[in-house]
Chain A
Amino acid sequence: MTLPNAPLVPLGWQTIGPFFPRTFFSEGDNDLTRLAPNAEPTAQGQPIILRGRVLQEGGGPCVNAVLEAWQADAHGHFRHPADPNHAKADAGFMGWGRAWTDADGAYDFRTILPGGYTDATGTRAPHINLGIIGSGIMRRLVTTLYFPAFAGANAADPVLTVLPAELRPRLVVQPDGEQDGTPVFRFDILLRGEPHEETPFFLD
C-alpha cells in the first residue's frame, strides 16, 4: 500500500554501455558559452578552455566516456528558478556542455571563468561541476573543479573542504598556456588508482 504523498523511489542507474550513439553529439555541445551552436558566445566573463584526459586503472585512456559540465555564470548566478538571483543571470550564457573522450581519453570544453556565490551552505569558490558516464560506470561519477587563482575562497569552500586537506589540490585545475589568446586549464581524471593518484569523487 502506498500512502498518499509517500515518496516514490528514484529508478536504478545503469551504465550507458559501450554504444552511446555518436550521433547524439553535435558541433558545439562542449561549448558552455553559447545557447545554441550558431549563437554568439556570451559577452560576459573571461573565456577559458578546459581540457584533460580521462584515465582508467593502470593509466590507460578511458575511451568514449561522456562528460557533462555545469557551472554558474561570470557573476555566480544560475539561470534557473532554484537560484534566488536567477533574474540577474547572464541570459546569453548556457552553462552546460557535453564532451566525449577520444581514443586518447582526451576531452575539452570551452567556457568562461565562473563566479562564486553565497548560499545557505556558505560561500562557494568559483567551480565547475563535472559528471562522468561511460561503459562500466554504473552510476555517474561526479566531481568539482576549482581554480588556482582563488586559493582563499577554495580554502573556505563548503564542498572542497569536505575532502582531507591533502586531497584538495587534486581538484584544482592546472594552468596550461593559451590557445589563440584564451587561457587553457588542464584537469586529468584518474577513475581508479592508488589513493594519492585517484581523483576524488563526491556522492551523487
Chain B
Amino acid sequence: MAKNIYEKIWEAHVVHEEPGQDCILYIDRHYVHEVTSPQAFEGLRLAARKVRRPNLTFATMDHNIPTTDRSKPIEDPMSAQQVETLKANCAEFGIACFDMKDRRNGIVHVIGPELGLTQPGQTIVCGDSHTSTHGAFGALAFGIGTSEVEHVLATQTLLQKKSKTMEIRVDGVLPLGITAKDIILAIIGKIGTAGGTGYVIEYTGEAIRSLSMEGRMTVCNMSIEAGARAGLISPDEKTCEYLKDREYLRDQDHEALAKAWRAWASDPGCTYDRTVVLNAAGIEPQVTWGTSPGMVASITGKTPVLAQIADTNTRLAAEKALQYMDLAEGTPIQQIPINKMFFGSCTNGRIEDLRAAAKVVKGYKVSPKIEQALVVPGSHQVKMQAEKEGLDTVFKEAGFEWREAGCSMCLAMNADILQPGDRCASTSNRNFEGRQGKGGRTHLVSPAMAVAAAIKGHFVDIRGWKFNG
C-alpha cells in the first residue's frame, strides 16, 4: 500500500504498542539547549537515572548568549548560570556540548542540519517548538516540554499518539521576489494559527520542490505557528546534496546513504486526512500587522477594518491586536514606519537568507529613522561563511550591526531587546505581544523585505526594488 512519509517514519520507530495506550516511539536525535533542560537533568539526578544514549544527544547554547564580544563573560548572572548549568550537566552525563566558543555553536535548529546530524527518516525532538524545522529533511521532528525532555534522556523514547496527516500543496511557480517566508505566512493566513492542530503536515507541490533546503527549513520552521505537531517535506536530490560531506557524515558512503534517504519519500498515490491547496502565483510579499502570525496581509494590503469582520471573537482579537500594535484600521501596510530591524533566528538566519538580504542592501544606507538594525547569523559557521563572501562588509557599510550568532532578538532573552513602543521589522517567527521586549511591536517579514524596510524606514514592496549590481 502506498504510504506517506509520516506513516513510514512512524512505523519504523514504534518500539511498543498496546491497545488503549500511547505508543512508545524511538527517538534518533535529541537536541538540548540551556533554557528547557536544567529541570530535566535535575529530575534525572533526583531519580538516580542516567542518560540512556548520550551519543544520540547533542547540546548547544543559543537562547541566552550575547551576540557581542564572546571573549567577555555573560553579564546577566541568571543567563550565565543557565549556560554554566548546561555545560556542567553535559559533562556529568557525557553529552556533546557545543558551547559558546565552539566553532559548531549556533541556534539549535541551524546547527543540526549544518553538521549533518539531522537526516531523512529520523525522529528528532528538542525542548523547543521550532524543532519542526528539521522536517525540511524528511525527518519527523517536533518540540517537547521539559518533562518529555527528561523522558527522552532517560529512555531514548517518547510516549506518542499517532497524528492525523495534512498535505499542504503549493502548486505552480513562485513569482519573482516571493520567498519561503511568504509561502508559510500565506499558509498560516489561510488555515489559521490552529489550522494544523492535531496534524502532521507534509508540504508538497512544485513551489515547495523548487525551494532550496534553506527555504524548506523556513517553511517547516513555522509549521508550529499553524499549530501543527510537525511539518515535513519528502527528501529528494536537493536533500541528499545538502547533506553530502557534512561534519557528522564524512567518511560515510554517501551513495548508499542517499539511496536509503530517498526511500523515505512519500509513495505516489499515498493519502492524507486532509489536503489544502494554494497556488504560488497568488502569493504576494507578506507582512504581519497583529500579534499572532495569522494576522497577516500582503504588502499591497491594509490592516483590517473591524466592522468587516463577521465573527465576534475574531473581531475582538483583531481590535486588541491593533490597539497593542498602535495601528489604525485600514492602514496601508506600506505606510507603516519602523524604527528597528532584526535579521536572524532559526527561521531566516541562514547563509542563503544573508545572501538574499545583502543583494537588496548593496549600494544603500539604513534610513536615519532607524535606531537599530541588527544582523545576527544563525550559527558561527554561517557567520564565517558570510564573512568569507564579504557579506558582512555589505551590511556594515550600509549601517547594519554585524553580530555573533544566537537567538538574539527573536525572543530577547539576552541583551538584544526592543523598548516599549519600538516597531520592528523582523525575520523571526513570532509577533506575540512583548515577544521581542515588553511593549515592542513586531512585524514578521522575509529577509529581503526586512532590510528593504530598514533602508526606507517603512515597509516597501520588494518586487519594485532597484537592485545595485
The judgment on whether A and B are partners is: no
Chain A interface residues toward B at CB < 8 A: none
Chain B interface residues toward A at CB < 8 A: none
